[in-house]
A and B are shown apart, each in its own frame.
Chain A
Amino acid sequence: MIKSEPTDSSKVVIENNFEKRTFWNRAKLELKKSPGTARFGMIVILFYIIVALFAPWLAPYGESQVFPIPYEPWGQEFVFGTDQIGRDILSRMIFGARNTVGIAVATTLISFLIGGALGLAAAINRSWLDQVLSRCVDVLMAIPSLIFALVLLSIFGTSIVNLILIIAVLDATRVFRLTRAVSLNVVVMDFVEAARLRGEGLGWIMRREILPNILPPLIAEFGLRFCFVFLTIAGLSFLGVGIQPPLADWGSMVRETAMLIQFAQYDLKAGLTPLLPASAIALLTVAVNFVVDWFLHKTSGLRDE
């Protein structure tokens, strides 16, 4: 009793000292030190998330609610006017946040699930599995992904599910490469060997031993891949083979209103209309890039030019 008491109290004191910094405290400290560009990026991303989540409440009209006047100019009733069949542009922009960004996030998540799992497995296994997967990825990466996506879309048809799966699989090749490369450095470490000798299975080693150690580069890569996927899907939709109408989507909105740009001389606002969804795409990519830059800078110190 006498012996254990002082150790207990000292333990409590130590715990008290350390418990003060919770996750949120640390996050706050990091945020205070973050540069202006990263803060700007985070605010923009937060704004997009809010718009995407609360789209039905924020939009003045419905997603595909048609009004009698097509190409209505900017004004009180329709802030950014209406499109070629009389749908409110602002409402479609707001719903577009939900569709375009949502589909891009889903695609990136799937590509990380596929690419990450296979990359980890290849790095740990290092036998025929690694060889087969690496050679397949080499060949897949030899074809430009937009071109390959076009080929696959022409074969499987242009539905949202096909779009998500095709882009996710093509993008998973890049994730595979990165995951495999960074986990190769971790696989050779002693604690992994110890886990192996302990008799842990492949799943345990992947999740508990290696994944925590390769998380920072993977998170940064998630941001960059999201940008890439987002731009690819926007590009495909712009070309008319991605997200299909009547679903509101920024890429196809640019295509639908593109002809208005010819009238910029007479009505500058009308000329700017097709640039609105395009700049919504650009702004989000810039914002994500800013945050990823800061994150990379913080976690690795690499990229410090």
Chain B
Amino acid sequence: MHPIIRTVLVRLALGLLTLLAVSIILFSAIEFLPGDFAQSALGQLATPETIAAFRKELGLDESAITRYYRWITGVLRGDFGTSFSGRGSVTSIAKSRDVVDLIAPRFWNTLFLASLTAIIAVPLALFLGITSALYRNSFYDRAVNAASLTTISFPEFFVAYILILLFGSLWPIFPTLAKVDETTLLAERLLRCALPAFTLTLVIIAHMMRMTRAAIINLLASPYIQMAVLSGASKSEVILKHALPNAWAPIATVTAFNLAYLVVGVVVVEVVFVYPGIGQLMVDSVASRNIPVVQACALIFAVTYIVLNLIADIIGIVTNPRLLHPK
């Protein structure tokens, strides 16, 4: 078998294994619930019958393996169980909602925001990284570097509120609340998502830009680049034609890694801008200890994170020129 295919297959198998392990961890989290959880989740007014029914529904009378099997097969079919909220009353089952109904519309919103950010951030980061490598040690390079270092050290909500202060309050060109629903038109939706997307862009751009710059500058010291320089290639030709192809692997890795980081970033940004995504839903559910919703959100976030990291690794393997020509 070709070494590339074999390496990719090994990596895929490892990724699947990680997914399995993560799902087990997120599932077994519920095992650590304190004993009186049914009582505290349902509130003081719950009757002993409701509590018993609730315990039974959680499956606390069965073995963990059976419950895990049922949960994971449900998740694979798109069934995340039912939400805990609204369970206190006698007609409990009728009132509680399926987790999947809660999550599905919000999931698309989050995906929309993340994709919008990626569309802005990735080309911008590559452009800034390549140009600052091109004009290394110039004023431009230093300015871009200083700015990116600053944004790295800022908490997301600080960046968000500075943007709100500047563009939402002092110079109101963008709405500060990103409330959207299915009926919102695309143009309106883009306008409302502008500030959250800019915030996320500022948060993730610094790493990508610095990595692009570092990867290219690292390569500039290698003999084949010096050969190209000596043979009379221009500065931009050296960087774009000779250095960049070899830099794709680290750049792709850090890009995918930062897109994965978006997963964490969206949580805070969604809360700041009251954007109806799964990040906000998850925070609300943590505060009200609505475990099935928290589990489902965490699983979605974790799967996205793992898959993006997997893609990054595979891009790194496939674009490595040394693997294309096995000895």
Residues of A within 8 A of B (CB): 138-140, 142-148, 150-158, 227, 231, 234-235, 238-241, 251, 254, 258, 261-265, 268, 271-272, 274-275, 278-279, 281-282, 285-286, 289, 305
- Contact A264:B29 (CB < 8 A) given known A142-B306, A278-B157: no
Q: Are B158 and A151 in contact (CB under 8 A)?
A: no
B310 to chain A, nearest CB (A): 10
B112 is an interface residue with CB less than 8 A from chain A? no
> At the interface, yes or no: B255 with Cβ under 8 Å from chain A?
no
A217 to chain B, nearest CB (A): 19
* Least CB separation from B156: chain A residue: A235
Whole-angstrom distance between the Cβ of B99 and the nearest chain A Cβ: 14
Alpha-carbon distance A105/B185, docked complex (angstroms) = 47
- Residue from A143, A150, A278 within 8 A of B294 (CB atoms): A150
Chain B 292-307 near chain A by CB (<8 Å), digits 1 or 0: 0011011001100110
CB-based contact A265/B169 at 8 Å: yes
Task: Name the residue in A151, A241, A286 with the highest tally of chain B Cβ atoms < 10 Å from its Cβ.
Answer: A151
Contact A275-B162, Cβ < 8 Å, known A151-B295, A239-B268: yes
A11 to chain B, nearest CB (A): 49
Query: Which residues in B have their C-beta under 8 angstroms from that of A241?
Result: 283, 286-287
Q: When each residue 1-45 of chain B gets 1 if its CB lies under 8 Å from chain A and 0 otherwise, what string results?
A: 000000000000000001001100110011011000000000000
* Contact assessment for B161 and A152 in the assembled complex, using a CB-CB cutoff below 8 Å: no
Could you list 12 A-B pairs, sorted by A, with CB under 8 Å?
A144-B301, A147-B298, A150-B283, A240-B287, A254-B157, A258-B161, A263-B169, A265-B172, A272-B165, A278-B158, A285-B154, A286-B150
Residue of B nearest to A150 (CB): B286
| Interface pair A261/B26, CB less than 8 Å apart | no
Is A281 in contact with B18, judged by CB distance below 8 angstroms?
no
Are A271 and B165 interface neighbours, CB within 8 A?
A: yes
Contact A239 B154, beta carbon cutoff 8 Å:
no
Complex interface: chain B residues within 8 A of A274 (CB): 161
Top 10 nearest A-B pairs by Cβ distance?
A278-B158, A264-B169, A285-B153, A154-B286, A139-B21, A146-B264, A286-B153, A147-B301, A154-B294, A282-B154
Contacts A152-B29, A258-B161 given; does A144 touch B264 at CB 8 Å: yes
A7 to chain B, nearest CB (A): 53
Beta-carbon contact of B287 and A235 below 8 Å? no
Interface residues of B in 203-262 (CB under 8 A from A): 214, 217, 260-261
Assess whether B155 is in contact with A281, with CB atoms less than 8 Å apart: yes
Judge whether A144 and B263 touch: CB under 8 Å.
yes
Residues in A neighbouring B33, C-beta threshold 8 A: 155
Contact pick for A148, options B153, B170, B298, CB 8 Å = B298
Q: In the complex, which residues of chain A have a beta carbon less than 8 angstroms from the beta carbon of B113?
A: none
| Cα distance, A144 to B300, chains bound together (Å) | 11
Q: A150-B283, A151-B298, A155-B291 are in contact. Are A143 and B155 (CB under 8 A)?
A: no
Task: Please report the C-alpha to C-alpha distance between residue A274 and residue B26 in the assembled complex, in whole angstroms.
Answer: 35
- Inter-chain contacts of B165 with A (CB < 8 A): 261, 264, 271-272, 275
Hey, which chain A residues are within 8 Å of B164, CB to CB? 261
Alpha-carbon separation in the docked complex, A271 to B156 (Å): 18
Whole-angstrom CA separation of A264 from B291 in the bound complex: 39
Please name the residue on chain A nearest to B176 by beta carbon: A262
Give Cα A298 to B103, complex, Å: 50
- Interface assignment of B267: CB less than 8 Å from any CB of chain A: yes
B199 part of interface (Cβ distance < 8 Å): no
Please, which residues of chain A bring their CB within 8 A of the CB of B305? 142-144, 147
Do B26 and A254 have beta carbons less than 8 Å apart?
no
Inter-subunit contact B29/A289 (CB<8 Å): no
Measured CB to CB, the closest approach of chain A to B42, in angstroms, equals 16
Judge whether B169 and A271 touch: CB under 8 Å. Answer: yes
Distance A227 CA – B264 CA, assembled complex (angstroms): 16
Give complex CA distance A240, B287 in Å: 8
Is B114 an interface residue, CB under 8 A from the partner? no
- Chain B residues near A239: list those with CB within 8 A: 267-268, 271, 283, 286
For A157, the chain B residues whose CB sits under 8 A away are 289
Contacts of B272 in A (CB 8 A): 258
Given contacts A143-B302, A146-B267, A241-B287, contact A264 B294 (CB under 8 A): no
Distance between Cα atoms of A274 and B165 in the complex (Å): 10
Which residues of chain B are near A234, meaning CB under 8 Å? 155
Q: Measured between alpha carbons, how far is A139 from B260 in the docked complex, in Å?
A: 16
Q: Is the CB of B153 within 8 A of A282?
A: yes
Residues of A contacting B158 in the complex (Cβ-Cβ under 8 angstroms): 254, 275, 278-279, 281-282
> Given the complex of chains A and B, what is the CA–CA distance between A156 and B31 in angstroms?
11
Complex Cα–Cα for A285 and B159 (A): 14
Q: How far is the CA of A278 from the CA of B164 in the complex (A)?
A: 14
Task: Tell me which residues across on chain A come within 8 A of B172, comparing CB atoms.
Answer: 265
Pairwise interchain contact B153-A227, C-beta atoms closer than 8 A: yes
Which residue among B289, B297, B309 has the maximum number of chain A CB atoms within 10 Å of its CB?
B289
Residues of the B chain whose Cβ atoms lie less than 8 Å from the Cβ of A305: 214, 217
